[in-house]
């Protein structure tokens, strides 16, 4: 598996990766979870896929098998800011405003959204590796921009999976049940720090790329979406 990171300025360097990420999102969030989000027959793409967004994508044999999106909590594009802040302002019909207990707008905090892993990955170990590569890629991106913390709206099952990988994840505020997929979601927060596997490798081989870290054997669900928006990690 290989992690690639890009924004709108250099997504062309990675062939079809961005388009395949949007297609994977459509498959999971629309076809499987039945979310009411903008899409056509091929892809899902919303109001936060703008030049303010950054992406951490995982490839296997040249195909996208997972990914997530990140954006600074100071970002604005037209009438929108970032997903959780727009929910807090009452702009998003499927996310209740109370999910955010405080208005966050800081260059030190980034929001992660649309985290997804393909449902056809063969083993638990491979799903854990894909998750780790996505999140470590997000960490690398936000650290590069001076951020220290990440937040996301996610199914609470993700918190346990991330903690198993060594991320220090906590819940921020109340939860709610999504009327579209029946799952319980909440805002998660974590410091912008790498997984245990990545930290161990960095101590031994500081220049080693993310994709070279040994795979941890941790159980994850077949599909791990980060709610309407990371939460992804998150």
Asked whether 129 and 56 are in contact (CB, 8 A), the reply is no
pLDDT score of 231 = 33
Rg (CA), the chain: 16
Q: Report which DSSP code applies to 3.
A: E
pLDDT score of 206 = 65
pLDDT score of 214 = 45
For the domain that residue 26 is a member of, what is the CATH number? Answer: 3.40.630.30
Q: Considering the domain boundaries, does residue 221 fall inside one?
A: no
Q: Considering the domain boundaries, does residue 89 fall inside one?
A: yes
* pLDDT tens-place string over residues 1-51: 999 999 999 999 999 999 999 999 999 999 999 999 999 999 999 999 999
Distances (CA, A) of 29 to 5, 33, 125, 185: 22, 5, 23, 14
Distances (CA, A) of 234 to 5, 42, 137, 185, 206: 17, 25, 13, 12, 25
pLDDT score of 208 = 57
Query: Which pair of structure tokens corresponds to residue 83?
Result: 């997903």
Q: Considering the domain boundaries, does residue 36 fall inside one?
A: yes
**Segments in the chain below pLDDT 70:** 206-234
Q: Considering the domain boundaries, does residue 232 fall inside one?
A: no
Structural domain tally of the chain?
1
Asked whether 92 and 228 are in contact (CB, 8 A), the reply is yes
Angle of helix 196-204 relative to helix 124-144, nearest 10 degrees, comes to 70
Q: Considering the domain boundaries, does residue 130 fall inside one?
A: yes
Q: Considering the domain boundaries, does residue 198 fall inside one?
A: yes
pLDDT score of 233 = 31
Query: pTM for this structure?
Result: 0.87
pLDDT score of 16 = 96
Rounded-to-integer distance, Cα 179 and Cα 147, Å: 33
Asked whether 57 and 13 are in contact (CB, 8 A), the reply is no
Q: Considering the domain boundaries, does residue 230 fall inside one?
A: no
- Contacts of 50-54 with C-beta under 8 Å, sequence gap 24+, read 50/8, 50/77, 51/7, 51/8, 51/9, 51/77, 52/76, 52/77, 53/7, 53/8, 54/5, 54/6, 54/7, 54/141
Q: Considering the domain boundaries, does residue 217 fall inside one?
A: no
**Which residues form the domain of 9?**
2-212
pLDDT score of 108 = 97
């Amino acid at each position: 598996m290989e992690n690639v990171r890009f924004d709108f300025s250099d997504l062309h360097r990675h062939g079809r990766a961005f388009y395949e990420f949007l297609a994977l999102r459509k498959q999971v969030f629309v076809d499987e979870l039945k979310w009411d989000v903008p899409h056509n027959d091929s892809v899902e793409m919303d109001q936060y896929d703008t030049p303010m967004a950054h992406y951490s994508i995982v490839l296997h044999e040249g195909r996208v098998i997972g990914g997530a999106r990140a954006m600074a909590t100071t970002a604005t594009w037209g009438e929108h800011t970032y997903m959780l802040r727009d929910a807090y302002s009452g702009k998003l019909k499927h996310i209740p405003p109370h999910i955010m207990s405080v208005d966050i707008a800081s260059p030190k905090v980034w929001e992660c959204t649309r985290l997804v892993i393909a449902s056809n990955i063969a083993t638990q170990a491979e799903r854990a590796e894909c998750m780790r590569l996505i999140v470590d890629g997000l960490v690398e991106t936000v650290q590069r921009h001076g951020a220290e913390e990440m937040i996301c709206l996610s199914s609470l099952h993700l918190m346990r999976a991330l903690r198993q990988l060594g991320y220090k994840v906590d819940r921020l505020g109340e939860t709610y049940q999504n009327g579209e997929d029946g799952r319980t979601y909440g805002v998660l927060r974590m410091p912008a720090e790498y997984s245990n596997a990545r930290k161990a490798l960095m101590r031994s081989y500081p220049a080693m790329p993310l994709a070279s870290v040994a795979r941890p054997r941790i159980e994850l669900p077949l599909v791990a979406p980060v709610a309407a928006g990371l939460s992804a990690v998150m």
